[in-house]
Amino acid sequence: MKKAILYLPTLLLVAIAVNQLILANFFNLSPWLGGGYGMFSTTDVGSNRHIHIYAKSEGIIKELIYPKELSDLALRTKSFPTDRNLNEFTRTIAQIEDDRSINSIEVQVWKSQYKSKTLHPSSKMLKSVELKLN
């Protein structure tokens, strides 16, 4: 046990990296983050992902743009789109949008993909959350 403590930095490195492998492969954490050494291995960088926000009223769907003040929160949400992060982001958007006609707000996180030889881009939705307001 005493010897294990002396090698704790190395053991922690492995634990953090394995944790990152799990989060990236099962919970959509960007492989560039989390201490698993996935940087420069994939195009799926957090900043390459994008968010769509839709405000839904009776018969109307309007796309919203998040304000600059939420850039940091948006980056965290895109990079690690868990239910908790998405719900927090959606609730924050709902608080900013002062429009009583909005019935719900949907937030979607998408990642970009590229075709092999042509690099032709396409997108894939990773996760979405809809928050009912009324």
Partner 1 sequence: MFENILKKFGNIDFYNLALRLTLLDLILRPIGSWEIRVPVLITAILGLVIPGLLKNPAIWFLLTGFTLSRVIFDWPLSDNHAYLLFLWCFAIFISALKKDKILLTKNARLMIGLVFVFAFIWKAFLSPDFLDKRFFSVNMIEDPRFSEFTQVTCNISKDDLDYFRDYVKQHVDGNLVFAEVINFNLKCINKIAGFLTYYTIVLELLVALFFLIPKKISIAKYRDYFLILFCISVYSVATVEGFGWLLIAMGISQSDNKKLPILLYILSFFIILFYREVPVLNIVLEIF
Question: Where do contacts with partner 1 occur on this chain (CB under 8 A)?
Answer: 5-10, 12-14, 16-17, 21, 24-25, 29-44, 46, 48, 50, 52, 63, 75-76, 79-80, 110, 112-114, 116-123, 125
- Distance in Å, CB of 69 to partner 1, minimum: 16
CB of 14 to partner 1, least distance (A): 6
**CB of 38 or CB of 90, closer to partner 1:** 38
Residue 28 phi, psi (nearest 5): 65, 20
* Selection from 113, 49, 39, 109 nearest residue 81 by Cα: 109
Residue 46 CB contacts under 8 Å (≥ 6 apart), including other chains: 30, 32, 33, 75, 78, 79, 80
Nearer to partner 1, 40 or 98 (CB): 40
| Helix, strand or coil, per DSSP, at residue 126 | strand
Closest separation between CB of residue 68 and partner 1, Å? 17
